[in-house]
């Protein structure tokens, strides 16, 4: 009997094809909107997270406890001593895939009477390829190679320019081009003023305004020379397999730190501030992102309600306008249960058509936007302070899961919206039905 | 005759007391600046910078010409030796021996340059004129380190000043600024400068020790101890010439 009803329902929906198309389109619109918004919000979130992991937090970050507390002001004196030794020890942890050390310092750049304050990151160019990944974001020139140390007169260390790569916005402010020499001055750990000359090897563009406008990268050894802290870094970043496993990785790193701390205490070696291993999830931005995700979920739920209302109304109208037809079918002997099943089957077919079409449209739009991206730089330009980790080009991220979710969502509301009208339609008042001006076609 | 003498003495004392009481803020500032006015000057001494547990001592010598030209060179420690600083008008030139280059720092970028509690602006203003840039109000008399002082409140006339408000304690006898508190626009105490080791050279009084405390940072202070001081002395020729900032061997 179910097969016969399904067959009848399929024929029924094409008797009035305009009504079916209009109803399906409303479901398609809702489903497409739901899918697009889902992928858009997820894209923003994923972009934030990727920028946070690569640019700032890794999966786990090791630094002095005081450094974590004061990191927003870039405290230069809280260091990880013997960074090479610690990195070697950390690389032995099975879950660790990549390790790199960084030294961050404020610099004053000077060229042709122009000065710009900026933040310099002293990096190991090879190790940093897995983190900042600037080798793939070079707009002009080339990425740092080797240890970035100058060739030739390097041993003398004076008057030989090391390489530097700068963000494109910073380069514009200083009128810098590849090959230009620039003087960088900082205050070292001993409150002295120290400067070195650098040569611009490349100009990068990450799309993150805060980075491109304020950050430059120099070889770690040169950053250590500027700050007068040979062998030390401010932080060591680690990448594991999965960011969600970062807390477990942090626990393993803590064990290594404790072991090293006790052996250093025994040997009485270099004085070291207490070190902490902090997983990605404890970064202040990650905490903010949890809140942002909640807000995004609320937006999605509100959107679902709006779309569900549109679908329900359309379905309900399409059933209620068939009161006359309902009475005729019932008068021909169709039982209530079978009739309800017929209505729900019709809703199911319309739902499949609408949700399917919606998924196609929504996925198409998402893929197109993912490819092209939304340039939000004009909006960000008008903001006083740049949003850290936010790219100027936002891209949705389409997952198959979202397509399935959107399809189920569209179909569910199409069928659910038909339940009440189906029950109502089986108990019509004969006078109302006969008075209906609608006719069976 | 005795009565007349007593009367004249009393009148004299009253006149002095009256004059002292009615000394205007402008007159106090004028006395203060007269003390600091010289054609040329030479100083040598040490800067002791304390930042939490770190203490760094740097020896230097400096030449001044009027209020505009200022030259300083560090002689120790080894890492800082040879670093030169030349202030001409508003701009500041920094010779860095580590790079063998000169960095020009524009006015307005100098506030955070020195990693001591003194900014370059602070140093420049120590010899700069206050009159015309600040409106002064006499708040009363106080004592600093046992020395009687006039307490002045200075409010910046133009918004571009580094500190919007200052409280200045000027020694009554020496016309030396013994203490100065610097306030931000939001009326928060930013820094405090204390002067001591008051010395006299001819009719001029000057402080030989300054301690600047950054009230916005914990455990941070910078002490300048002047060992040698000479006023209106001949200076090496071309010392304030930008071309001579870079030593010949660095060319």
Average pLDDT per block of 10 residues along chain A, 441 residues long: 82 83 88 90 85 87 91 88 92 92 91 86 90 88 73 47 91 92 89 90 86 91 93 94 92 91 65 86 84 83 78 72 74 80 88 93 92 75 61 82 92 86 70 58 47
Question: Mutate which of A193, A196, A199 to disrupt the B interface (most B C-beta within 10 Å)?
Answer: A193
* CB-CB neighbors (< 8 A) of B48 in chain A: none
Q: How far is CA A301 from CA A69, A298, A307, A403, in A?
A: 37, 5, 10, 16
Q: Is residue B250 part of a domain?
A: no
CA distance A308 to A418: 12
Beta-strand ranges (E) seen in B98-219 are 101-105, 134-144, 147-156, 165-171, 177-183, 189-201, 204-214
The 3-state DSSP composition of chain A as helix, strand, coil percent (nearest 5) reads 55, 20, 25
Q: Which of A56, A396, A398 has its CA nearest to residue A208?
A: A56
What's residue A154's pLDDT?
43
Tell me, yes or no, if B75 comes closer than 8 A to chain A by beta carbon.
Answer: no
Q: Please report whether residue B216 resides in a domain.
A: yes
Instruction: State the sign of the Cα–Cα–Cα–Cα dihedral A261, A267, A268, A272.
Output: negative
Count of domains observed in chain B: 1
Option in A113, A190, A191 nearest B104 (CB): A113
What are the tens digits of pLDDT across the range B39-86?
899 999 999 988 777 888 999 999 988 877 889 999 989 999 999 988
SS3 A20: helix
Interface check A254 vs B, CB under 8 A = no
Residue B100 within any structural domain of the chain: no
The verdict on residue B19 lying in a domain is: no
Put simply, whether B72 touches A (Cβ < 8 Å) is: no
Note down the domain range covering B169.
Answer: 24-65+116-233
DSSP assignment letter at A134: G
Give the rounded distance of the alpha carbon of A222 from its chain centre. Answer: 33
Contact between A240 and A166 (Cβ < 8 Å): no
pLDDT score for B209: 94
Beta A114-123 vs A215-219: how paired, if at all?
parallel
| B104: chain A residues, CB-CB within 8 Å | 110, 113, 115
Q: What is the ipTM of this complex?
A: 0.73
Contact residues for A88 (Cβ-Cβ < 8 A; gap 6+): none
Alpha carbon distance A133, B179 (integer Å): 53
Using the Cβ of B48 and the Cβ atoms of chain A, whether some distance falls under 8 Å is answered with: no
Q: Within the 90-129 window of chain B, which residues sit less than 8 Å (CB to CB) from chain A? A: 94, 96-101, 103-106, 109, 112-116
| Coil, helix or strand at residue B42 | strand
Yes or no, beta carbons of A185 and B103 under 8 Å apart = yes
Residues of chain B in contact with residue A199, where contact means CB-CB under 8 angstroms, are none
Query: Tell me, what's the pLDDT at B128?
Result: 60
Q: Look up residue B77 and give its DSSP letter.
A: S
pLDDT at A202: 95
Chain B nearest CA to A37, separation (Å): 45
Q: Which residues contact A360 (CB under 8 A, 6 or more apart)?
A: none
Q: Is A273 on the interface with B (CB under 8 A)?
A: no
From chain A residues 82-141, the ones with a CB under 8 A of any chain B CB are 108, 110, 113-115, 117
Q: Which two tokens stand for residue A58?
A: 């890794």
The CA-based diameter of chain A, rounded to the nearest angstrom, is 105
Q: What is the pLDDT of residue A5?
A: 84
A264 touches chain B (CB under 8 A): no
In chain B, whose CA is at the least distance from the CA of A113? B104
pLDDT of residue A250: 94
Tell me the per-residue pLDDT of B160-188, one tens digit each, with 9 for 90 and over. 777 889 999 999 889 999 999 999 888 88
pLDDT computed for residue B3 by the predictor: 63
Q: CA dihedral defined by A36, A40, A46, A50, rounded to 10 degrees?
A: 130
Among the partner-chain residues A115, A189, A190, the one whose CB lies closest to the CB of B109 is: A115
- The answer to whether residue B151 is domain-embedded is yes
Secondary structure (H, E, C), B8-32: HHHHHHHHHHHHHHCCCHHHHHHHH
CA atoms within 13 A on the CB side of A339: 24
3-state SS record for A227-262: HCCCCCECEEEEECCCHHHHHHHHHHHHHHHHHHHH
Beta carbons of A159 and B100 less than 8 Å apart = yes
In terms of Cα–Cα distance, which of A193, A192, A187 is closest to B57? A192
Q: What is the CATH number of the domain that holds B192?
A: 2.50.20.10
Distance from CA of A34 to the nearest CA of B (A): 49
B5 versus A221: which is more confidently predicted? A221
Q: What is the pLDDT of residue A390?
A: 66
Residue B51 is assigned to a structural domain of this protein: yes
- A191 to chain B, any CB pair closer than 8 A? The answer is yes
Among A195, A225, A228, most B C-beta atoms within 10 A, so best to mutate, is A195
Q: Report which of A358, A304, A315, A305 is spatially closest to residue A25, judged by C-alpha positions.
A: A358
B58 in a domain, yes or no?
yes
The verdict on a CB contact (< 8 Å) between A192 and B80 is yes
Give the residue from chain B lying closest to A112, CA to CA: B104
8-state DSSP, B218: T
Nearest to B116 among A77, A159, A191 (CB): A191
What sign does the CA torsion over B118, B121, B123, B129 have? negative
What confidence score (pLDDT) does residue A255 get? 93
DSSP A23-71: HHHHHHHHHHHHHHHHHHHHHHHHHHHHHHIIIII-SEEEEEHHHHHHG
Over residues B206-225, the mean pLDDT reads 87
CA–chain centroid gap for A175, Å, is 32
**Hey, how many other C-beta atoms are within 10 angstroms of the C-beta on A426?**
17
Establish if B198 belongs to a structural domain: yes
C-beta atoms of B115 and A197 within 8 A? no
Cβ distance of A108 and B77 shorter than 8 Å? no
| B81 contact A CB<8A | no
Nearest CA in chain B to A191: B115
């Amino acid at each position: 009997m179910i097969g016969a009803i399904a067959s009848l329902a399929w024929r029924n929906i094409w008797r009035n094809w305009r009504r079916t198309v209009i109803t399906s389109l409303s479901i398609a619109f809702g489903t497409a909107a739901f899918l697009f918004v889902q992928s858009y919000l997820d894209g923003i979130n994923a972009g934030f997270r990727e920028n946070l992991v690569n640019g700032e937090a890794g999966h786990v970050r090791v630094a002095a406890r005081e450094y974590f507390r004061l990191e927003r002001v870039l405290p230069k004196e809280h260091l990880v001593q013997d960074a090479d030794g610690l990195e070697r020890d950390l690389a032995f942890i099975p879950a660790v895939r990549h390790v790199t050390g960084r030294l961050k310092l404020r610099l004053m750049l000077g060229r042709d009477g122009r000065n710009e304050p900026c933040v310099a990151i002293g990096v190991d160019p090879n190790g940093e390829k897995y983190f900042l990944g600037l080798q793939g974001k070079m707009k002009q020139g080339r990425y740092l190679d080797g240890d970035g140390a100058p060739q030739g007169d390097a041993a003398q260390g004076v008057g030989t320019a090391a390489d530097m790569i700068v963000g494109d916005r910073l380069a514009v402010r200083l009128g810098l081009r590849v090959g230009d020499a620039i003087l960088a001055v900082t205050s070292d750990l001993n409150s002295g003023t120290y400067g070195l000359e650098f040569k611009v090897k490349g100009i990068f563009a990450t799309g993150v305004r805060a980075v491109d406008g304020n950050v430059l990268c120099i070889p770690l050894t040169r950053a250590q020379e500027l700050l007068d802290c040979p062998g030390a870094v401010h932080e060591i970043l680690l990448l594991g397999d999965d960011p969600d496993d970062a807390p477990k990785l942090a626990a393993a790193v803590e064990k290594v730190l404790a072991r090293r701390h006790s052996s250093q205490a025994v040997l009485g070696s270099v004085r070291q501030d207490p070190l902490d291993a902090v997983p990605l999830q404890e970064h202040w931005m990650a905490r903010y992102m949890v809140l942002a995700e909640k807000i995004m979920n609320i937006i999605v739920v509100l959107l679902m309600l709006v779309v569900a209302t549109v679908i329900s109304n359309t379905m309900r109208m399409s059933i209620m306008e068939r009161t006359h037809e309902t009475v005729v079918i019932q008068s021909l002997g169709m039982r209530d249960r079978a009739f309800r099943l017929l209505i729900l089957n019709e809703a199911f077919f319309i739902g499949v058509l609408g949700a399917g079409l919606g998924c196609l449209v929504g996925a198409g739009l998402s893929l197109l936007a993912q490819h092209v991206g939304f340039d939000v730089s004009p909006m960000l330009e008008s903001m006083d302070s740049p949003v850290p980790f936010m790219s100027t080009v936002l891209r949705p991220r389409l997952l198959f899961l979202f397509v399935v979710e959107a399809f189920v969502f569209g179909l569910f509301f199409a069928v659910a919206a038909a339940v009440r009208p189906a029950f109502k339609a089986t108990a019509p008042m004969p006078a109302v039905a006969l008075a209906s001006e609608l006719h069976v076609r | 005759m005795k009565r007349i003498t007593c009367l004249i003495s009393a009148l004299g004392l009253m006149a002095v007391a009256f004059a002292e009481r009615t000394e205007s803020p402008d007159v106090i500032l004028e006395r203060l600046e007269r003390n600091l006015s010289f054609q040329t000057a030479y100083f040598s001494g040490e800067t002791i910078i304390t930042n939490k547990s770190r203490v760094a001592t740097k020896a230097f010598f400096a030449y001044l010409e009027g209020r505009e030209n200022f030259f300083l060179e560090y002689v120790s420690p080894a890492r800082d030796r040879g670093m030169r600083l030349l202030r001409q008008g508003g701009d500041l030139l920094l010779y860095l021996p580590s790079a063998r280059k000169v960095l020009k720092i524009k006015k307005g970028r100098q506030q955070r340059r020195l990693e001591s509690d003194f900014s370059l602006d602070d140093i420049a203003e120590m010899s700069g004129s206050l009159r015309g840039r600040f409106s002064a109000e006499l708040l009363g008399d106080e004592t600093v380190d046992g020395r009687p002082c006039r307490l002045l409140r200075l409010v910046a006339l133009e918004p571009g000043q580094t500190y919007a408000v200052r409280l200045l304690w000027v020694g009554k006898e020496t016309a030396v600024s013994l203490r100065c508190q610097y306030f931000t626009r939001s009326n928060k105490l930013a820094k405090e400068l204390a002067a001591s080791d008051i010395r006299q050279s001819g009719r001029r009084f000057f402080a030989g020790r300054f301690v600047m405390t950054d009230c916005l940072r914990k455990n941070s202070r910078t002490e300048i101890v002047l060992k040698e001081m000479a006023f209106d002395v001949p200076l090496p020729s071309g010392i304030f010439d930008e071309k001579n900032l870079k030593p010949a061997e660095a060319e």
